[in-house]
Amino acid sequence: MPTIKFWKPYRVLTQFTDDEEGRETLADYIDIPNIYAAGRLDYDSEGLMILTDDGNLNHKLTHPKHGHPRTYWAQVENIPDEEALNKIRRGGMAIKNYKTRPAQARIIEEPVLPKRNPPIRYRANIPDCWLELILTEGKKRQVRRMTAAVGHPTLRLVRAAIGTMTLDGMEQGKWLELTDAEMQALWRSIKGSL
């Protein structure tokens, strides 16, 4: 069975079944038996996912002790100053019942992405900008909670990379099988995997 990378669209569940009618799931995009998502991505977030039938790889990608990098692009309200970015960078932010690890955070140019449907609500009197955040943990809704905690709610969130895997050369809603070279690079990017 292959290990694949998938560009999850907005409002798609990161599971293959759903008890509610009308919501899209991974089954609407991927027809490979016995393959499972290595981690989750919120229903209202977009971007890169890895799916595999390799239980060891799945564990390495999801267990917090392996702490591999995940890169997110977050469109946020207003323009964060260095103080706000430094709070994210230092770590130790109290989010729900845990404290965040240090993360990388910087303002970036707007990335080239497909239009979101529905689009982000435009508000002429409230500016926005894009941040790149690189985390080594993946708590539920963590990026959104971190940006909100420093006064800059997330409007759109895209996971751009997992370890060495990126969205480069991909189309939204499509998947690609990882090549042997990509698999080797992915294993190398996971702490303690070799």
Which H or E run contains 147? helix 142-149
Is residue 119 within 8 Å of 106, Cβ to Cβ? no
Residue 152: which of 176, 127, 169 has the closest Cα? 127
154-162/70-77 β-pairing: antiparallel
CA distance 189 to 50: 14
CA distance 182 to 179: 5
CA distance 79 to 89: 16
Eight-state DSSP code of residue 38 = S
Query: What tokens appear for 97 in the block?
Result: 């019942």
46-52/154-162 β-pairing: parallel
Is residue 73 within 8 Å of 131, Cβ to Cβ? yes
The catalytic residue positions are: 42
